[in-house]
Structure 1
């Protein structure tokens, strides 16, 4: 759950499992997480070879570094069972399930896993109208550690395709649905990642979308090109001015005259202990990001 086990997920890069050149570069990238994709990015005729290639690549990884996630095909497809078996053999940090529509989709994957997979988490793609209608029950699985669910990943492309919502650069029509996903994720104690921008060469729009997503409460953004990593890392990191104020709030509460107080005066406004908790969490997250970068 997000507040208990924070891991930076500011920049989460999709890498096709069939792309040898891209796979060879992942160790040098400064993203927080990598999604090795066996689903949309891999043609049907290439899926078996992509699975074997992933097993070889994962065998070369050292512990630590970017979080490693494998997106499989849905378990109801002809590739799903083989994908899940291959993903388990790779020992990633998480398995990303596409087109999750109901809690049953999470349970079906969890039932295949056993005690040897104790550290394996499940991430869920939210990308269909059914998923949107079932967000509450799906997110509630985040409160059940046995269900393994730890993160929502928004599939904005599929969501737009399935609903007919126009995707403009400012995402004015999509924004209410994105906010709904964030709210559900927080209710379930889950992290939540914004969908990608397909026009990866448009740095201005990408920065705007990152800023918008950060303000909406997203933890990070999924990316389709390494050139987007630095902008995402910056947008979803605690702003320096916010971090400076957080440290000041903590220091003010620590003053002897404020010992035991529930509310104090800070820079001309009233600040409660809930703001102290927020400040402490922000400082801790900034420290984790700094440690990750070093």
Structure 2
């Protein structure tokens, strides 16, 4: 227990992170899509070997995706390869090929318990995969939601590499027999349960997709609700969804200005050891200081990324 506590709190209470506002799925079997992804303003790209690829295209997709990742050209975008599940005929070879290609992360599908993450992590350890390769977990089954805490808890140990949970809301709706309504009445409890588990173990969490890519208003509404809930960003299925998603999940100028004021206030010598101070008539605690640091860090990274894309 002491090891768990120390690992969880190592480095203080700040989750600095990186922008993951827009996370765009790209089918690994579509070579043109892999090339186009280099020009899109998404924060992260999931190059998919799983759901978006037919069984007879799996080997071709693996070769194309790994070649594209090795070739580079994706700039500051976070590049993630979604492999097939370990129990499939392609899973192990997908993981080994991904390790050789060296993406930023590998997205593990169909995660249902902590052992699924540990098993993939052990493969990475066995081939001495570069430390930079992280693991993301797809949360897309009822069992995954029930086990969200123990899945997230694998992140306590650095060797497991887990840094992000991804909601698979389409699969959750199918498995639960829920109605896919625009207000996501049935989905919100699952999102909230998984989000709390993610935050307890200092993980990012990405909301599920919005299927009607022609409905910008519906997308915006869902993004706003996701951000209010606490999501870091949203998975997307079409390039047209990137712009609205980036806008809504970015810190507003007002939020950034306030965060800087909080940071400056705690930086004054007389406040360095205080747990609570007053900023412009508002009571501010150390936890707000940590939140402010993350807000400014994310805002600065977004500015740098947008500048690089100009």
TM-score, normalising length: structure 2: 0.89
Report the alpha carbon displacement of residue 63 of structure 1 after superposing the two structures with TM. Answer: 7.2
1:22 aligns to what? 33
SS in 2 for 1:100: coil
Q: RMSD of the alignment, in Å?
A: 1.9
1:116 aligns to what? 129
2:5 aligns to what? none
Listed one character per residue, the Cα deviations across residues 119-163 of structure 1 (whole Å, up to 9, x for unaligned) are 211110001011111111111011111111111000000011001
Change (3 A) 1:271 1:64: same
**Residue 88 (str. 1) matches residue 99 (str. 2):** yes
Q: How does 1:233-244 map to 2 (within 5 A)?
A: 233-244=246-257
Deviates more, 1:269-278 or 1:78-87: 269-278
1:32 aligns to what? 43
Distance 2:158 2:49 in 1: 26
Deviates more, 1:129-138 or 1:54-63: 54-63
**Residue 163 (str. 1) matches residue 167 (str. 2):** no
**Residue 250 (str. 1) matches residue 263 (str. 2):** yes
Unaligned runs of 5+ in 2: 1-7
2:88 aligns to what? 77
1:271 aligns to what? 284
**Residue 211 (str. 1) matches residue 227 (str. 2):** no
1:145 aligns to what? 158
Listed one character per residue, the Cα deviations across residues 185-213 of structure 1 (whole Å, up to 9, x for unaligned) are 01121110000001011000101111111
Residue of structure 2 aligned with 1:197, choices 210, 227, 237: 210
1:281 aligns to what? 294
Distance 2:238 2:50 in 1: 17
SS in 2 for 1:221: strand
Report the alpha carbon displacement of residue 103 of structure 1 after superposing the two structures with TM. Answer: 0.9
Distance 2:219 2:16 in 1: 28
Contact 1:13 1:35 in 2 (8 A): yes
Report the alpha carbon displacement of residue 59 of structure 1 after superposing the two structures with TM. Answer: 3.0
Residue of structure 2 aligned with 1:57, choices 55, 68, 75: 68
2:59 aligns to what? 48
SS in 2 for 1:199: coil
SS in 2 for 1:59: helix
SS in 2 for 1:30: coil
1:182 aligns to what? 195
Distance 1:239 1:152 in 2: 24
1:6 aligns to what? 17
Between the two proteins, the alignment pairs up a number of residues equal to 294
TM-score, normalising length: structure 1: 0.94
